[in-house]
Structure 1
Amino acid sequence: MVTVVRARQQSSSFLKQHDTAASDTAAVELLRQKSLKVQSYKPDSALIYAQQGLDLARKTNYKKGEGDCLNRVGVVLWKNGKYDRALFYILSSLKIREEINDQLGVLKSLNDIGIIYSDQGDNTKALTYHFKAKAAAESLHDKKRVSIVLSNIGNCYLKLNKIDSALYFELQAYGIQHAINDKGTMPNTLSILGDINYKMGNIPMALEYYRLSIPYAVENNDQSAIADTYNSIARLYVKSGRSDSSLFYASKALEAAKVALYPEGIYNASSLLAQIYQGKNEHLELMYYKTSVAAKDSMFNAEKVREIQNLSFNEAARQQEIADDKRREADERIINLQLIAIAIFIPFFFLVLLLLSKSRTHRKVIEFMSVLSLLLVFEFITLLIHPFVARISNHLPVIELLILVILAAILVPLHHTLTHWLREKLAHVAHDPTAHNPTKTPGTVGLKKREIKKVSS
């Protein structure tokens, strides 16, 4: 009875622990989701929720949650222009996601790292990460993620002034988003298509894409996307000489960017406003100029640039180490397969030798094969032992030579003894015509033949 009660208590304790773990996991995911939901209009709250989720994930040793929340913190910091810290968090997230083989998580981290490098002006490096993310998304057959990455690739090519490539990837992204009715990512893609057409000089088409983008961004309450599109429209009107329209859209862009605490949007809008007021209103021109300088400094000061360079260098070294490890594993796998093949071949060779010894094969052939078989065995033993010898000796030639000499002193006499034994046994069997019936001797054979002749006569 006591045993039954104890078993029930243990079972109850296990269920409570399981329920607590499940509850903690759900709580981490809930905090991450809340952070994502309020990111565009309450960035401070988004950062708090993401950090709370990260703390809880670490406390409960929930690795997937830790990777997700690290990435979430990084994205919020990136949106707020803190690129150095954002890169640190997302690279940390990538490392954890790779360790636990979270393929979707790795995809997201790669894509976000690419965006940060693109915003920093290093679009070549950004494309490296985006194409890795594209391959990951295609392997998972995730159409939504494929479209997001394609859109980011198109944006990188646009910044590199490769308009044809930009249009190619952006239209692919738009086609997928339209097919799956993905309203969440549509505004960004439409806005980039507007930028591409603006670069191509197709102003009416650019305006059409911008105007299509705005309702989706408003529906999603995506203040950053709203700021970007309004800034693009304002820039277009500045080039067209329509300063009133430009002033209207630049002001709306600045308002949306401030709500989202979006430094890039603030910088672009205030720079346009300073340009519009140049020579017209010195006070407003100076005010917007100071705003743009402050926003730019918050994103690109020298200390942050150095930190990003250090993080990039460390990540490149880590990726190189991973590549080297994979290469070593591949080499070891090939070596192990070869050793297995040799280990299978040697017994097979012995079997062939035994079969030949019972046939009419020449004695010299049997002797040669017996010597060869023993050479294979002893050299295979040496091959297997050598890595251990190298490890024990720590690759010191003197110690390694001493160990090999001791092994040779044991193996060489044994090799000679076995060679002599095999030569005697197998070669003798092959040479002896009565080997298949040892009870018969040449004398008795002749005697029986004579007896048979007498009977017949």
Structure 2
Amino acid sequence: MPILRLLLLMLCCGVALTARALPAGSRADSLQRLLSASRPDTSRVQLLIQMAWERTDDSPLVGVEYGQRGLRLARRLQYPVGECQALLMLGWAFMRTGNYATAIQTQVQARRLAEHIGYAGGIIHADNALGYAHLEQGSQRLSLRYFRRAIALAEQQHNVVLLTPILGNIGRAHLELGQPDSAWYFTWRGYQLDLQQHDMHSEIGDLSILGDIAARRQQLNQARYFYQQTIARAVGMPVSYATSRAYLGLARLARAQQQPAAALRYAQQALATGQAGSYAKGVFEASDYLADLYATQGNSTDAYRFLRAAAATRDSLFSQARMSQVQALSFSEELHQQELAEQGERTIAQRRQNMLLLALAGLIGVAGFGYLLINRRHLRREVEFAQERQRLERRYSEDILDAEQKERRRVGADLHDSVGQLLSAAKMTLSALQHQLRLTEIAHRDLFANALEMLDEAVREVRSISHKLVPNALTRHGLAKAVGSLLDRLTLAPPHLQARLEVTGLEEQRLDSTLENILFRIVQELVHNVTKHAQASEITVQLLATMHQIRIVVADNGRGFQLQTIPAAAGIGLRNVESRVAYLNGQMQITSTPGQGTRVVLDIPLRPAPMPLAASVRA
């Protein structure tokens, strides 16, 4: 049967392959000699399994004995793969004795062990064997569930060797369900794989099944061809089950075609083949069929003789089954004790695993708590370091701004008190000289007039620069007045912009002097950009203060620009504005469209330092 070939492929090794090349008796003798000289190791386990396989065909009870010896040795050696293979072999041996209940129990145990050790081949073979056991008992649909599960895993593992014999078993199940078309599909597919894998055992079994399918479909010539191919391929092979079925199939075909002599000859060959291979089921079926043939011919003597032979074979099968039941009882108890021991080991292992998990959880908890403490301390230090760095950076920026303001005041004072005074003295001296000389020529008077005018321009320019460096209105009256003075000068000097100032919230209070100075420089830079680049005719500045922030808006109706292409000259000024706004923790938003002007909005948070306007004026 195909399942036998599957087991052989799983268990074969170099010694076994050598033994397979010998005749059946020689193989058993060779294995017996190897067993007597072997040591109690994993190789001996494989030899015992091979010996069980060899004796299962002619004496399943002896096969059970060898299988149990291999199982006990594998367990003593703690050799799980050998233990699984021994259980699989024992399941097949019990099945050959007709003890299907113990066979199924053994295969389930083998499958459970194969799953535990990750032995995919063992899982596939156990599912195939379980399906075969149910098929032998007439549960074809249940057997198909096991066969399909075995096929799915074999295809997932890409194991064609294990897949090959399962297809024929599926075909036989469909045939017994009365589905010859499905039976043909699966069996023919298995037969093609047999040829591809050079698996003669499975090939011979599938040929006999193909003959049964063709006979069921009334394709008599095709059935006869497959039966004859089965017999031809089986020469020298221990496949009496397939050969006996093929001869019996030829006998049925001959009887259906009214050829009693040929039917009798084929039936006698089926009986001889079963007897030669110790295939009890084949002997029983052939004897029963011969008795029916002789009874049909009116030969009651020979019919009675073969009926007695069939009865004797049936009694032999029954006796063998009873002896198998006795062996199975002790083996079932052994399996039960093994399950109890395994359950105890699993309980201890689970308890130990739980303790380890608890210890690991405690260790992780302690480590996590320590990590949190260290990380918290590290984060606190990082926060303190960042705060200190920000404090130093702010102090550094404040020092820079303070130094800048002081330098502006110094330069402005020097220009006003030194250069401005010198220019004024020069003008007065030049005017006195003009009166003393009493110039009569027009050219000389024009030269003196031009010189005096240039001196006046220089005095005004020095005064303007001095006021820009340190606006007097900012120092005396605050941000709003300083911005107003800045815009007033725009209306007087080119390009004579229409300037409008809107102030809210700054009428009765002063801001911190440093903040006022920075905000004035920001407005001064934005206004300067408008006068230099916007080509505008109107400019509006809004100073909108609340308790928490001041909003500064500078808008013009100039030519505008694309924000992505800010003019290079204006870009430097805007970057200075951005840096000052960032220093004050503020936000800046620029909105501009070509031909529609530009609008800059600044939002600066406030920490106001209130100061009455009268006091600021007195200062």
Name the TM-score class by shorter chain.
0.5 to 0.7
Q: Residue by residue, what CA displacement relative to the aligned partner does 1:52-80 show, whole Å, maximum 9, x if unpaired?
A: 22222122222111111111121122223
- Seen in structure 2, the aligned counterparts of structure 1 residues 225 and 77 have a Cα distance that, compared at 3 Å, is farther
Cα offset, 1:47, TM superposition: 3.1
Q: Indicate the residue corresponding to 1:453 in structure 2.
A: 408
Q: Does 1:112 align with 2:129?
A: yes
Contact 1:80/1:262 (8 A) holds in 2: no
Q: Indicate the residue corresponding to 2:471 in structure 1.
A: none
Q: Residue by residue, what CA displacement relative to the aligned partner does 1:149-175 show, whole Å, maximum 9, x if unpaired?
A: 112121221112222221112222221
- After superposition, residues 258-337 of structure 1 pair within 5 angstroms as 258=275, 260-278=277-295, 280=298, 281=300, 283-284=304-305, 286-287=307-308, 290=311, 294=315
Cα offset, 1:211, TM superposition: 0.9
> Residues of 1 paired with 2:126 and 2:320: CA distance?
21
Q: Indicate the residue corresponding to 2:393 in structure 1.
A: 437
> Residues of 2 paired with 1:123 and 1:295: CA distance?
27
Which residue, 190, 193, 196 being the options, matches 1:173?
190
Contact 1:167/1:193 (8 A) holds in 2: yes
Contact 2:214/2:222 (8 A) holds in 1: yes
Q: Does 1:87 align with 2:104?
A: yes
The aligned amino acid for 2:160 is K
> Residues of 2 paired with 1:209 and 1:55: CA distance?
43
Q: Indicate the residue corresponding to 1:58 in structure 2.
A: 75
Q: Indicate the residue corresponding to 1:332 in structure 2.
A: none
Cα offset, 1:206, TM superposition: 0.6
The aligned amino acid for 2:304 is H
Which residue, 91, 96, 103 being the options, matches 2:113?
96
Contact 2:238/2:277 (8 A) holds in 1: no
Cα offset, 1:189, TM superposition: 0.9
Contact 2:284/2:310 (8 A) holds in 1: no
Could you tell which deviates more after superposition, 174-183 or 287-296?
Answer: 287-296
Question: What SS does the aligned partner of 2:161 have?
Answer: helix
> Residues of 2 paired with 1:121 and 1:161: CA distance?
13
The aligned amino acid for 1:287 is R
Q: Residue by residue, what CA displacement relative to the aligned partner does 1:370-410 show, whole Å, maximum 9, x if unpaired?
A: xxxxxxxxxxxxxxxxxx9xxxxxxxxxxxxxxxxxxxxxx
TM-score by length of 2: 0.46
> Residues of 2 paired with 1:257 and 1:69: CA distance?
27
Q: Does 1:228 align with 2:183?
A: no
Question: What SS does the aligned partner of 1:453 have?
Answer: helix
> Residues of 2 paired with 1:42 and 1:162: CA distance?
34
- After superposition, residues 20-99 of structure 1 pair within 5 angstroms as 24-99=41-116
- After superposition, residues 160-199 of structure 1 pair within 5 angstroms as 160-199=177-216
Q: Residue by residue, what CA displacement relative to the aligned partner does 1:110-161 show, whole Å, maximum 9, x if unpaired?
A: 2111111111111212122112222333334333322211121212211122
Q: Residue by residue, what CA displacement relative to the aligned partner does 1:192-239 show, whole Å, maximum 9, x if unpaired?
A: 111111111111111111111113323212222222222222333333
Contact 1:50/1:73 (8 A) holds in 2: yes
Cα offset, 1:291, TM superposition: 5.1
Contact 1:74/1:85 (8 A) holds in 2: yes
- Seen in structure 2, the aligned counterparts of structure 1 residues 55 and 98 have a Cα distance that, compared at 3 Å, is same
Q: Any gaps of 5 or more consecutive residues in structure 1?
A: 1-20, 312-387, 389-417
Q: Indicate the residue corresponding to 1:146 in structure 2.
A: 163
Cα offset, 1:243, TM superposition: 3.1
> Residues of 2 paired with 1:456 and 1:275: CA distance?
138
Q: Residue by residue, what CA displacement relative to the aligned partner does 1:78-121 show, whole Å, maximum 9, x if unpaired?
A: 22322222222222211111211111222222211111111111
The aligned amino acid for 1:453 is R
> Residues of 1 paired with 2:101 and 2:235: CA distance?
29
Which residue, 244, 249, 256 being the options, matches 1:239?
256
Q: Indicate the residue corresponding to 2:32 in structure 1.
A: none
> Residues of 1 paired with 2:62 and 2:316: CA distance?
21
Question: What SS does the aligned partner of 1:220 have?
Answer: coil
- Seen in structure 2, the aligned counterparts of structure 1 residues 438 and 447 have a Cα distance that, compared at 3 Å, is closer
Question: What SS does the aligned partner of 2:234 have?
Answer: helix
Aligned length: 325
Q: Residue by residue, what CA displacement relative to the aligned partner does 1:12-58 show, whole Å, maximum 9, x if unpaired?
A: xxxxxxxxx98510011112122223433344443333222222212
Question: What SS does the aligned partner of 1:219 have?
Answer: coil
> Residues of 2 paired with 1:128 and 1:295: CA distance?
33
> Residues of 2 paired with 1:449 and 1:152: CA distance?
99
Contact 2:97/2:321 (8 A) holds in 1: no
- Seen in structure 2, the aligned counterparts of structure 1 residues 211 and 132 have a Cα distance that, compared at 3 Å, is same
Cα offset, 1:183, TM superposition: 1.8
Which residue, 97, 111, 123 being the options, matches 2:140?
123
Cα offset, 1:253, TM superposition: 2.7
Could you tell which deviates more after superposition, 164-173 or 292-301?
Answer: 292-301
> Residues of 1 paired with 2:392 and 2:290: CA distance?
107
- Seen in structure 2, the aligned counterparts of structure 1 residues 295 and 132 have a Cα distance that, compared at 3 Å, is farther
Contact 1:231/1:249 (8 A) holds in 2: yes
Which residue, 133, 144, 150 being the options, matches 1:133?
150
- Seen in structure 2, the aligned counterparts of structure 1 residues 122 and 436 have a Cα distance that, compared at 3 Å, is farther
> Residues of 2 paired with 1:154 and 1:231: CA distance?
19
Q: Which has the larger radius of gyration?
A: 2
> Residues of 2 paired with 1:254 and 1:85: CA distance?
29
Could you tell which deviates more after superposition, 240-249 or 28-37?
Answer: 240-249
> Residues of 1 paired with 2:39 and 2:157: CA distance?
26
Q: RMSD in angstroms over aligned alpha carbons?
A: 4.0
Q: Any gaps of 5 or more consecutive residues in structure 2?
A: 1-37, 333-357, 359-375, 413-619
Q: Indicate the residue corresponding to 1:212 in structure 2.
A: 229
Q: Indicate the residue corresponding to 1:357 in structure 2.
A: none
- Seen in structure 2, the aligned counterparts of structure 1 residues 81 and 164 have a Cα distance that, compared at 3 Å, is same
> Residues of 1 paired with 2:231 and 2:55: CA distance?
19
